Structure 1
Amino acid sequence: MDAFDQAGKTAVLQNIHGTMQFLQRFPPFNQMENAHLAYLVEQCQLRFYASGESIIKPVDGPVEHFYIVKQGRVVGERNHAATGTETTFEITGGECFPLAALLGERATRTEHLAAEDTFCLQLNKAAFIRLFALSEVFRDFALRGVSSLLDQVNQQVQRRAVETLGNQYSLNTRLGELAMRHPVTCAPDTPVREAVRLMHEQQVGSIVIVDEQRAPVGIFTLRDLRQVVADASADFAAPIAAHMTAAPFYLSPQASAFDAAIAMTERHIAHVCLVQDQRLCGVVSERDLFSLQRVDLVHLARTIRHAARVENLVSLRGEIGQLVERMLAHGASSTQITHIITLLNDHTVCRVIELAIQDKGDPGVPFSWLCFGSEGRREQTLHTDQDNGILFEARDAAQAAEIRARLLPLAQHINQGLAQCGFTLCKGNIMAGNPELCLSRAEWARRFAAFIREATPENLLASSIYFDLRVVWGDEQACEQLRQGILDQVADNRLFQRMMAANALRQRPPVGRFREFVLTRSGNDKAATLDLKVQGLTPFVDGARLLALANGVHANNTLERLRQLVGKEVIDPLDGGAYEEAYHFIQQTRMQQHQLQTRQNLPYSNRVDPDSLNDLDRRILRESLRQAQRLQSSLALRYQL
């Protein structure tokens, strides 16, 4: 060890306690055992780098040291043939580098430079390997990076939920833990009378019909029994197979309570069979979920679907808000919550349409109710406006005009009914009651062809949400045929893709060159803030939409698009995982903001002051926004923008 290294070592050893206190402010060091953290500090040297000085670069060969920024800032730069030198990241106090190269025993692909006068704690490779073996927390962070930090955030949320509600509540409880008793079963040839007697003796609401290998072939519930009783000619000596619901839906015992609740809501069922190795091993009922969660999602969905009047739906919207409030408090993820909001919104839309048909009369022609934007992507929050249209079949323009004239009064009535239920009328008139959005399949195809053929930066801003279309009510086949035509046209039109890419770069994530948040003031706000939706989520939404359309991905949901793009090798798996986690965290932060605003009787806002977040949340938000920057950089490189 030369004199310079010895001086750096001495500087650390003289203030072990102070250095440990510094590191304990930052993850993962704040989760490490004291002995492991002390080992890290004792093995470190303090190194100084002047502004602009290179700390480590690719030509240095395999990495021999691990660095933690003690004071100052470090930037990573790469050379690209198309774009020249590109700053790929900026890191500051408490953050570390270059983990991937050190673990891979290779040279770094990025030059790390001091952006200002900077002090780093430097750990040699042998000590890094020893610490990697000693500390599970450090090893997890080294292998998983920001993913392990997100685990800490989720653990904090779950801890708060347990403190408030006790251990019994969890959306993630395994179904195998809920189905404690053996399922009541019978053979297909069992008489109905005998099956009902078994249900009564065991005090259960269902009996599963199994074959000789105990595979479920049917289920008979109290609902089925009511139908048998209502049929005056029913024979109670008949085999249960004549009255059972065949091929019952089932899940694995490892599936979660959330999975079962969603399945019941989507399929309008009250029981889910549990099957392991093709054998029945349990049954979970709606009542089991309700007693666990105290949130009767299935009952709420059923009440919505059977509401007798729009006024009933209006009152039920308040219950949806309460449900979301409780789920947030219980530690549900943003993905779970948006899934549930979308399901309940879909049920509401379907019921409004059905009530409108009862009120105005059947138009006499089949049609499909389309939705666009966040509703089309299944990414709605509670505060949402209408983006919808109608699709129907017509043999020619004359018939299309005739059908449109019959459907428009109904569509406008539906739009007003949805507005009563809290779906705000669209200021841009993107609604089915607009004649321009009540179209035959051929007319929709021409409209999308015009979007693609005549694209300009201005009209792309308005038309992009149409590319997230899906059917909420009605036949889905025509929409799927329309979507396939859209995908074929976009795949063949590189110019349109390039214009979509430019549009996707319009909203820049609010992180500056040196890792600071770039904040602005909105309206009368006193504090400078950033917009979680427009500046945080939109870059992921727009980027995923473009890549999905360009690569034949049918999915609408942003996270599902990212997963399928990884599957098609359009996006690197590590990048895809990082984008997904970043999107999830920004959405979660946005929903928590909405929850806080609801409690304080404030209007919904997507703007947040980063200083209002704790250190961990602020760091992960910054990292999440940097992932949005990386996605935009990859689009700029792909389309040479």
Structure 2
Amino acid sequence: MHAHTGGGLDGLIRREPLSVLPELAVREVLRRMCEADAAEAVVVAPSTGQPLGILTERDVIERIAQPAESLDVPVAGLMTGGVVALPRTAGVHEARLLLARHRLRRLVVVDEFGRLAGVVSRDDLYAVRRPAADDLIGRIQAARDEAGLIDAARQVSERAAALVDGGEQAGRMGEWIALLNDLLVQAAIDLAEAEFDLPLVPWCWLAFGSEGRLEQTLHTDQDNGLIFLAAGEAEADSLRARFLPFAQRVNGLLDACGFPLCQGGIMAGNPRWCLSLDEWRYCFADWMRSASADDLLNATIFFDFRALAGDAALADALRGGLLSAAADNPLFLRFMTENALRSGPPLGRIRDFVVDRQSGRLELKRDGTRPFVDAARIYALELGLAATSTVDRLCAAGNLLRWSGREIDALSDAFEFILQLRLRRQRVPGVPANQVAPDELNELERAFLKESLRQARRLQDRLRSRYQL
């Protein structure tokens, strides 16, 4: 059973939400809550059905205890306003992040018209057992300066290492690391934002690569960018000049927290990746017009972007145009596929594994997880899938292409096994990260690795057949 992070919240809504009008007396709201066995009631606007506030059992106990309060006042006067809501299409990770960031117990879910669709609680979002993160979330949110943030990041790193040593499953570990790392990045952005007078235009911090896919391991550098809204080229240049010092400060804070600066300079503090929405659109269009697969090789990291802070609507607008253009560009998809098929999993015809002659090792990132990542990305672009994580992309693509449930599960298990092996190898001192000698594994691990690489080969065979390569 996989705890996928990118599916919509629809599947987590367990019951019809209890909605009430603002003028209803608290006494009557409580009666309806008891009848419906509901822990909360959502107050909605009479004409639109859009959520205005929420009343929970806990709210009533706390507020009715005040001498001035009465059960006969309208619920509008006792509810908690300023509802934090997400669309039903939002991903589970996004919901968990919002809960943690705002220290909430439940989230309101709305439909495409902003009307109440349901309520999900912390228990719904964490139905699959997870490593405890509450104390670390509290430490991150309590950080008021750089020193506090660095200390919180150190504790996250130590706990993550301990969980890997304890054999925590890779999928859960990935979600846990992604949640805490996202909160660290958001905290760094909050600290930096307080130091600068930022332009009053919509902007959004983007995560690329493994962070965009929610697949960070213990050793990961920064891959990020910034997108903002500008009316034209001159305004974009002016706004970039104001955003860059802020972005560079965030990059510096993250470096101090243990996320090394990207060696290739793919960071928001680099003018090349601090761009307006139109400039980002031009970049993607340029990559998709590229004359050869080689031109695309270094651009693939950008196709896994995810909004991390700021106005996510900018990232959504960029993604909508990208997915539409990709689906209509078979030559671009063919070049992407050529790149993905340049090297196959290191399986031998005579020996089980093909290893480096000098070291006797094979590369778990390049030859193990990357075939899954590359194939999933291509299917997402071709089929218009908004998911960014590899497992979620494979599941969504498999369902659309009518792969069997067993095959989808086998691909997901294979990817997660190799990811787990990468995490464990990163804890072995004196060994290059992501490398393993098959002789160092026990018999069962070798068998699992061999079968996982076979699954990668089958996935590549599917791609080869689809694009007739």
TM-score normalised by L of structure 1: 0.58
In the alignment, the residues of structure 2 paired with residue 489 and residue 500 of structure 1 have an alpha-carbon distance, to the nearest angstrom, of 14
Partner of residue 261, structure 2:
425
Q: Which has the higher contact order (CA 8 A, sep 6+)?
A: 2
C-alpha deviation, 1:264, in angstroms: 5.2
Partner of residue 482, structure 1:
318
Is 1:265–2:111 an aligned residue pair? no
In the alignment, the residues of structure 1 paired with residue 60 and residue 191 of structure 2 have an alpha-carbon distance, to the nearest angstrom, of 24
Partner of residue 437, structure 2:
609
Give, as a single letter, the amino acid of the residue that structure 1 aligns with 2:366: V
Is 1:563–2:386 an aligned residue pair? no
Partner of residue 578, structure 1:
410
Residues 434-466 of structure 1, C-alpha deviations (whole Å, 9 max, x = no match): 111111111111110000012423221210011
Is 1:243–2:78 an aligned residue pair? yes
> Cα gap change, 1:224/1:573 in structure 2, threshold over 3 Å: closer, same or farther?
same
Match of 1:426, SS state, is coil
Partner of residue 639, structure 1:
467
Q: Say which of 217, 224, 227 aligns to 1:388.
A: 224
> Cα gap change, 1:330/1:221 in structure 2, threshold over 3 Å: closer, same or farther?
farther
In the alignment, the residues of structure 2 paired with residue 425 and residue 266 of structure 1 have an alpha-carbon distance, to the nearest angstrom, of 25
In the alignment, the residues of structure 1 paired with residue 106 and residue 177 of structure 2 have an alpha-carbon distance, to the nearest angstrom, of 22
CA contact (8 A) 1:313 1:348 kept: yes
Match of 1:360, SS state, is coil
Partner of residue 89, structure 2:
none
CA contact (8 A) 1:264 1:298 kept: no
Deviates further, 412-421 or 328-337: 328-337
CA contact (8 A) 1:224 1:243 kept: no
CA contact (8 A) 1:261 1:298 kept: no
Structure number with greater Rg is: 1
In the alignment, the residues of structure 2 paired with residue 222 and residue 582 of structure 1 have an alpha-carbon distance, to the nearest angstrom, of 46
CA contact (8 A) 2:99 2:122 kept: no
C-alpha deviation, 1:261, in angstroms: 8.1
Question: How many residue pairs align between the two structures?
Answer: 411
In the alignment, the residues of structure 1 paired with residue 106 and residue 442 of structure 2 have an alpha-carbon distance, to the nearest angstrom, of 42
Partner of residue 9, structure 2:
none
Match of 2:420, SS state, is helix
Partner of residue 163, structure 2:
327
CA contact (8 A) 1:261 1:297 kept: no
Is 1:627–2:455 an aligned residue pair? yes
Residues 173-196 of structure 1, C-alpha deviations (whole Å, 9 max, x = no match): xxxxxxxxxxxxxx97359xxx9x
Residues 586-605 of structure 1, C-alpha deviations (whole Å, 9 max, x = no match): 1111122224x2xx5x4761
> Cα gap change, 1:491/1:265 in structure 2, threshold over 3 Å: closer, same or farther?
same
CA contact (8 A) 1:220 1:245 kept: no
Match of 1:513, SS state, is coil
In the alignment, the residues of structure 2 paired with residue 453 and residue 509 of structure 1 have an alpha-carbon distance, to the nearest angstrom, of 29
> Cα gap change, 1:482/1:261 in structure 2, threshold over 3 Å: closer, same or farther?
closer
The residue correspondences of 1:115-126 to structure 2 (distance < 5 A) are none
Match of 2:176, SS state, is helix
> Cα gap change, 1:626/1:406 in structure 2, threshold over 3 Å: closer, same or farther?
same
C-alpha deviation, 1:573, in angstroms: 3.8
> Cα gap change, 1:401/1:639 in structure 2, threshold over 3 Å: closer, same or farther?
same
Give, as a single letter, the amino acid of the residue that structure 1 aligns with 2:33: V
Deviates further, 394-403 or 586-595: 586-595
In the alignment, the residues of structure 2 paired with residue 271 and residue 604 of structure 1 have an alpha-carbon distance, to the nearest angstrom, of 43
Deviates further, 355-364 or 237-246: 237-246
In the alignment, the residues of structure 1 paired with residue 239 and residue 347 of structure 2 have an alpha-carbon distance, to the nearest angstrom, of 51
Partner of residue 410, structure 1:
246
Is 1:298–2:134 an aligned residue pair? yes
In the alignment, the residues of structure 2 paired with residue 354 and residue 494 of structure 1 have an alpha-carbon distance, to the nearest angstrom, of 41
CA contact (8 A) 2:25 2:71 kept: no
Match of 2:56, SS state, is strand
Partner of residue 86, structure 1:
none
> Cα gap change, 1:404/1:228 in structure 2, threshold over 3 Å: closer, same or farther?
farther
Is 1:499–2:331 an aligned residue pair? no
Partner of residue 454, structure 1:
290
Over aligned residue pairs, what C-alpha RMSD do you find?
3.7
C-alpha deviation, 1:348, in angstroms: 0.8
> Cα gap change, 1:382/1:188 in structure 2, threshold over 3 Å: closer, same or farther?
farther
In the alignment, the residues of structure 2 paired with residue 552 and residue 343 of structure 1 have an alpha-carbon distance, to the nearest angstrom, of 25
C-alpha deviation, 1:482, in angstroms: 1.1
In the alignment, the residues of structure 2 paired with residue 497 and residue 570 of structure 1 have an alpha-carbon distance, to the nearest angstrom, of 20
Partner of residue 398, structure 1:
234
Deviates further, 453-462 or 348-357: 453-462
Partner of residue 362, structure 2:
530
TM-score normalised by L of structure 2: 0.78
In the alignment, the residues of structure 1 paired with residue 313 and residue 122 of structure 2 have an alpha-carbon distance, to the nearest angstrom, of 34
In the alignment, the residues of structure 2 paired with residue 389 and residue 261 of structure 1 have an alpha-carbon distance, to the nearest angstrom, of 23
In the alignment, the residues of structure 1 paired with residue 64 and residue 245 of structure 2 have an alpha-carbon distance, to the nearest angstrom, of 38
Is 1:213–2:36 an aligned residue pair? yes
C-alpha deviation, 1:397, in angstroms: 1.0
C-alpha deviation, 1:356, in angstroms: 0.5
Partner of residue 182, structure 2:
346
CA contact (8 A) 1:507 1:538 kept: no
The residue correspondences of 1:129-144 to structure 2 (distance < 5 A) are none
C-alpha deviation, 1:607, in angstroms: 0.3
Match of 2:177, SS state, is helix
C-alpha deviation, 1:271, in angstroms: 7.5
In the alignment, the residues of structure 2 paired with residue 283 and residue 367 of structure 1 have an alpha-carbon distance, to the nearest angstrom, of 29
Partner of residue 468, structure 1:
304
In the alignment, the residues of structure 2 paired with residue 533 and residue 393 of structure 1 have an alpha-carbon distance, to the nearest angstrom, of 36
C-alpha deviation, 1:267, in angstroms: 5.9
Give, as a single letter, the amino acid of the residue that structure 1 aligns with 2:376: A
C-alpha deviation, 1:561, in angstroms: 0.3
Match of 2:426, SS state, is helix
Give, as a single letter, the amino acid of the residue that structure 2 aligns with 1:531: E
Match of 2:206, SS state, is strand
Partner of residue 148, structure 2:
312
Is 1:189–2:189 an aligned residue pair? no
In the alignment, the residues of structure 2 paired with residue 300 and residue 226 of structure 1 have an alpha-carbon distance, to the nearest angstrom, of 30
C-alpha deviation, 1:636, in angstroms: 1.6
Match of 1:361, SS state, is coil
C-alpha deviation, 1:627, in angstroms: 0.9
In the alignment, the residues of structure 2 paired with residue 516 and residue 356 of structure 1 have an alpha-carbon distance, to the nearest angstrom, of 51
Partner of residue 545, structure 1:
377
In the alignment, the residues of structure 2 paired with residue 634 and residue 593 of structure 1 have an alpha-carbon distance, to the nearest angstrom, of 30
Partner of residue 77, structure 1:
none
In the alignment, the residues of structure 1 paired with residue 271 and residue 65 of structure 2 have an alpha-carbon distance, to the nearest angstrom, of 47
C-alpha deviation, 1:223, in angstroms: 12
In the alignment, the residues of structure 1 paired with residue 394 and residue 96 of structure 2 have an alpha-carbon distance, to the nearest angstrom, of 25
CA contact (8 A) 2:178 2:216 kept: yes
In the alignment, the residues of structure 1 paired with residue 460 and residue 271 of structure 2 have an alpha-carbon distance, to the nearest angstrom, of 36
Deviates further, 317-326 or 581-590: 317-326
In the alignment, the residues of structure 1 paired with residue 443 and residue 257 of structure 2 have an alpha-carbon distance, to the nearest angstrom, of 39
> Cα gap change, 1:436/1:570 in structure 2, threshold over 3 Å: closer, same or farther?
farther
